[in-house]
Every structure is written in C-alpha cells, then in structure tokens.
C-alpha cells in the first residue's frame, strides 16, 4: 500500500520538470543519482561502457532528456546521439543507443520528430549500429510504434520497447513477432490506469514471460529487460526446454542495479546488455528508479551523508 503510494508520488515527481531544474541547481542534490547514471559527459559514459565491455557485457547509451518542446533543443539532443554513435564506432565499443522520442520533439508532431531523428539514423546506418526506441507513457505508445514502423520501412535498424503491464501489448507483440522485429520487453515504468494496464506484480510478470516467449518462438532476438530473478528463471527455463541457445536473446539491465545478478548471468554464459544513461537531465529517469524501489531513497540519503568524497 505504502510502496504503491510512493510509486505514484515519485512518478508524479518525474513529471515536475521545475523541481528537476531546482534539484540540478543544488550542489548536494546534483550528486544524488550517480549510482544510476554513468556521469554527465559522453567521456564518462564511454569509460563506463569500456569497463562493462571488459566484463563481457555490452551496453546501450541513453543521452538523458525527454519531453522536449522546441525544435532547437530536440536537434541538440539528436546531435548528442550522433556524437555518441561516432564515439562507439571510433572506439570499437560493443554498444548501441536507446532514444526517447519525446526527447526528439515528438510533442511537436510526428513529421518534426522524424526530421529530428534523421541524423541519428544516418549515423547509425553508416556505422551499422542498432537504435532502440524506448517506450514512454501510454499517450505515446501508438505514435512511438508508428514511428518505429516508418523508420524500419525506410531500411533503418531500429526496434521498439513493449511494456508488459499494458493490455494491448499481447497484440503489439504478435505483430512484431510475425515480422521478427528486435524488441525489448520490460514491465513498464509509468503510472497507467487499470482500464489499460495490469496493476499487480503477478499479471505483469506473467505477461512479461508470455511476451518474451512469443518473441523467442519467432526467433526475433528479444531483449529481456528485468532484474526480477523469477522472470529471468522462467525465461531461461523456456529457452532450455525449447533448445533456444543464449545467442538468440539477451538479458538487459539498468546501470548500477543488481550488479551481482549481472555478473552471475555473464558467468553462466548469457548475453547481457547494460543500459547506460548519462547527461545532466537526470531528474525524470532518477525519479522513476526511486518509484521502482522507494528503499533507494534511504540508499541515496546515506550516500550523501556518509560518502562525500
């Protein structure tokens, strides 16, 4: 009950951009997210990716930023992605990128958004680097899937994210499975009403496994994005039972979360990709991580008080 209320509260905070701006201007608070964020610069993010690659993990780089409502800011965000792709290619890193369309001006209209992402597509095509399109709140689900479809029709190597809490996801995954679209499955990190989304862990988890298994059956190389050991075990069991090798899917986890489990999966011979966010616009991302696990607040406060070095 309390955890549910805190979840809603932190998701509400994630939408309060003025609080984010205030927080980012406060020196002590500015240090808060650094367990979950690789740094503020591309240089720091690249160092994190290099370290992950050394352990055998691949990465996906996320330039933090979302809900941009002017073209100039969206173009700047796209340029940051182009720079990230160029660095991945120049350094031969095992990494791709994850992009949020609201950070690319989706609120300005679909055509505007497509124009903003065009340079990212050009760079990713040139270097053969896959682009994941993250999924945001349900107001954007259909438009995000439509844009992914249009980018794919244009020959670009992109794939969407599907959230298992949404009822519509069964039908969405069925369509993606038929076309063997490389899709990430996650539980979903936004607050959605019961009319459109499961609210309880059980059905969200069951749907998660069902969606992943459908994509495994279709040989669509799903990204299994969770830190939930029960989900991971169920996916592993399905793959073993069907003789589906570990090269036909990858587990995905967030930077700084369940590093023990990340190491364990790699040691077992599984593929693992770590989502590495960086940049100064960390407020909404950080609030969603607190929403998933309110106990993180204690962790963060302790690190502020006890570890100022």
Report, as residue numbers or ranges, the catalytic residues: 134, 184
Looking at 227, 264, 266, 294, which residue binds ligand FDA (CB under 6 A)?
A: 227
Q: Interface mask (CB under 6 A) for ligand FDA, residues 172-211, using x and -?
A: --------------xxxxx---------------------
- If the CB atoms of residues 20 and 188 are measured against ligand FDA, the closer one turns out to be 188
| 102 interacts with ligand FDA by CB under 6 A | no
- If the CB atoms of residues 187 and 271 are measured against ligand FDA, the closer one turns out to be 187
Does residue 65 sit in helix, strand or coil? coil
All residues at 6 or more sequence positions from 150 whose CB lies less than 8 Å from its CB, including other chains: 114
Closest distance of CB 292 from ligand FDA, Å: 4
Task: Extract the tokens encoding 288.
Answer: 């969603």
Round to whole Å and give the CA distance between 204 and 90. 40
Closest distance of CB 41 from ligand FDA, Å: 21
Looking at 232, 252, 272, 278, which residue binds ligand FDA (CB under 6 A)?
A: 252
Task: Extract the tokens encoding 161.
Answer: 């994210």
Round to whole Å and give the CA distance between 14 and 282. 10
The half-sphere exposure of 238 on its side-chain side, counting CA atoms within 13 A, is 19
Looking at 266, 280, 292, 294, which residue binds ligand FDA (CB under 6 A)?
A: 292
Q: For residues 214 and 181, is the Cβ–Cβ distance under 8 A?
A: no
Does residue 120 sit in helix, strand or coil? helix
Where do contacts with ligand FDA occur on this chain (CB under 6 A)?
Answer: 134-135, 161, 163, 186-190, 225-228, 252-254, 257-258, 275, 289, 292-293, 296
């Amino acid at each position: 009950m309390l955890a549910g209320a805190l979840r809603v509260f932190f998701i509400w905070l994630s939408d309060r951009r003025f609080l984010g701006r205030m927080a980012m201007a406060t020196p002590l608070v500015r240090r808060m997210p650094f367990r979950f964020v690789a740094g503020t610069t591309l240089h720091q993010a690249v160092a994190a990716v290099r370290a992950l690659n050394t352990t055998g993990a691949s990465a996906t780089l996320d330039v933090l930023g979302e809900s941009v409502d002017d073209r100039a800011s969206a173009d700047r965000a796209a340029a940051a992605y182009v720079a990230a792709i160029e660095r991945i290619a120049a350094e031969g890193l095992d990494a791709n990128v994850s992009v949020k369309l609201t950070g690319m001006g989706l609120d300005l209209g679909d055509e505007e958004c497509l124009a903003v992402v065009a340079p990212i597509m050009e760079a990713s095509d040139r270097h053969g680097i896959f682009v994941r399109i993250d999924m945001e709140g349900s107001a954007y689900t259909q438009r995000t899937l439509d844009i992914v479809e249009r980018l794919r029709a244009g020959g670009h190597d992109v794939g969407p994210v599907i959230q298992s809490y949404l009822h519509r996801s069964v039908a969405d995954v069925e369509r993606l499975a038929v076309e063997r679209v490389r899709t990430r499955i996650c539980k979903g990190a936004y607050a959605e009403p019961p009319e459109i989304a499961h609210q309880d862990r059980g059905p969200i988890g069951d749907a998660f496994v069902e969606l992943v298994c459908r994509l495994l059956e279709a040989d669509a190389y799903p990204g299994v994005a969770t830190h939930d050991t029960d989900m991971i075990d169920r996916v592993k069991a399905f793959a073993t039972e069907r003789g589906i090798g570990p090269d036909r899917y990858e587990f995905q986890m967030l930077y700084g979360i369940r590093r023990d489990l990340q190491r364990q999966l790699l040691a077992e011979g599984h593929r693992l990709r770590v989502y590495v966010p960086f940049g100064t616009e960390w407020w909404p991302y950080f609030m969603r991580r607190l929403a998933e696990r309110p106990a993180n607040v204690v962790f963060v406060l302790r690190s502020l008080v006890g570890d100022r070095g």
